[in-house]
């Protein structure tokens, strides 16, 4: 049996639209775990009526309502704990609530699993909802700057799936829990938690495949108010650094330290020019505070890894970073287009 996890945070209409497309186009049976973060009476009623209103969905869903916002990491972990406790499930798909499912998405995604070859992560083809001909991502790619980003080009190495449209075997997730005590790092809250998981899985010898015909249409950053705000900037940069320090092999860091420092200098300059130096201050302040914990996690996990020296070259793009993102960043560098978020 396959489980599907969807996390909602105060986007009830979008989430119900996503779920309607899932039930219509999954192409196979599944059990839905719907996590409603920041739930109120209105969202609980709407979710319950949608799920229970169709007799064909009876027994095919579990609704988890949280009065607080546990973030993507916490919400997924809550559902995944239940999935792993039930031996009927062989794999679990994560689906962003700002996606529309194209026909046969889930069944095509599951075909990509190949446990005999340790292919136990599968990425969807995620397309731009507003421009369906444009690729949103084909999973995630890690660059020599130590930062991962949306994989736009199928010729780039595939590190792992984007958490917005991912499939993981329960065997892989159980292995991560047995070593780390968690699936998604709860300290990440949101953003780059899929990169962290993919790096930890790679360190254990697991591989990833792209299900190129398993298609989602993705709006992007709906729950966080769009990509151009300091909340996204803070968590995206902070968590990318967390994932780097926790997971990347010493050989990678040693060979690419110049590119890593260049990226951090460029990002620092970007937010200063855009008038948001506080983002950088908060990121590096919180990085220093978290450093003892991150280094302890690094020692713990790397003592149990199986990757050979230099194997990171097989799943790392040898470019500094995605040229399209660099060009876009330079083109908009002097625009004061980054909206402030409370406290950041």
pLDDT in tens, 174-192: 999 999 999 999 999 999 9
For the chain, the residue count is: 344
Identify the three-state secondary structure at position 316: strand
Helix axes 193-203, 277-302, angle to 10 degrees: 20
Which range (97-111, 211-225, 286-300) has the least confidence?
211-225
Please say if the pLDDT value at position 223 is more than 80. Answer: no
Supply the pLDDT for residue 222: 59
Fold of 2-218: Spore Coat Polysaccharide Biosynthesis Protein SpsA; Chain A (3.90.550)
The per-residue pLDDT for 74 is 96
Residue matched to tokens 């409603």: 36
Lowest mean pLDDT of 217-221, 226-230, 300-304, name the range.
226-230
% of the chain with per-residue pLDDT over 70: 98
Query: For the sheet containing 148-150, what is the strand order?
Result: 148-150, 140-143, 316-317
What Å distances lie between residue 10 and 4, 13, 67, 111, CA to CA?
19, 9, 11, 33
pTM: 0.94
If one compares 336 and 172, the residue with the highest pLDDT of the two is 172
d(CA 91, CA 30): 10
pLDDT given for residue 227 in this prediction: 64
- Evaluate if residue 82 carries a pLDDT over 80: yes
Give residue limits of the domains in the chain.
2-218, 230-331
> How many angstroms separate the CA atoms of 43 and 10, rounded?
8
Split at pLDDT 50, 70, 90, the class of 333 is confident
What confidence score (pLDDT) does residue 65 get? 93
User: What are the tens digits of pLDDT across the range 41-73?
Assistant: 888 889 888 888 777 777 789 999 999 999 999
Task: Note whether 277 and 340 are within 8 A (CB).
Answer: no
pLDDT value of residue 226: 56
Predicted confidence band of residue 200 (pLDDT cuts 50, 70, 90): very high
């Amino acid at each position: 049996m396959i489980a599907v996890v969807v996390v909602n945070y105060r986007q009830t209409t979008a989430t119900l639209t996503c779920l309607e497309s899932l039930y219509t186009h999954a192409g196979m049976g599944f059990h839905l775990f719907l996590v409603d973060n920041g739930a109120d009476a209105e969202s609980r009623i709407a979710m319950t009526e949608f799920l229970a209103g169709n007799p064909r969905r009876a027994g095919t869903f579990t609704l988890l309502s949280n009065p607080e916002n546990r973030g993507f990491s916490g919400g997924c972990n809550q559902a995944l704990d239940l999935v792993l406790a039930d031996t009927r499930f062989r794999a679990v798909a994560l689906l962003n609530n700002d996606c529309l499912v194209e026909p046969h998405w889930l069944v095509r995604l599951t075909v990509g699993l190949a446990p005999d070859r340790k292919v136990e992560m599968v990425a969807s083809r995620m397309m731009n909802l507003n421009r369906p001909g444009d690729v949103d991502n084909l999973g995630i790619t890690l660059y020599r700057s130590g930062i991962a980003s949306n994989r736009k080009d199928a010729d780039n190495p595939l590190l792992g799936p984007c958490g917005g449209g991912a499939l993981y075997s329960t065997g892989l997730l159980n292995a991560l829990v047995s070593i780390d005590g968690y699936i998604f790092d709860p300290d990440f809250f949101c953003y780059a938690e899929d990169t962290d998981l993919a790096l930890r899985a790679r360190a254990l010898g697991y591989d990833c495949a792209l299900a190129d015909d398993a298609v989602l249409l993705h709006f992007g950053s709906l729950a966080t108010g769009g990509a151009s705000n300091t909340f996204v900037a803070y968590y995206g940069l902070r968590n990318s650094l967390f994932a780097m320090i926790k997971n990347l092999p010493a050989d990678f860091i040693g060979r690419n330290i110049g590119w890593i420092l260049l990226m951090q200098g460029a990002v620092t300059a970007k937010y200063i020019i855009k008038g948001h130096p506080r983002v950088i201050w908060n990121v590096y302040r919180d990085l220093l505070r978290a450093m003892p914990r991150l280094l302890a996690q690094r020692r713990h996990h790397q003592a149990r890894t199986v990757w050979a020296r230099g194997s990171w070259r097989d799943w790392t793009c040898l470019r500094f970073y995605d040229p399209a993102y660099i060009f876009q960043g330079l083109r908009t560098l002097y625009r004061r287009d980054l909206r402030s978020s409370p406290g950041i």
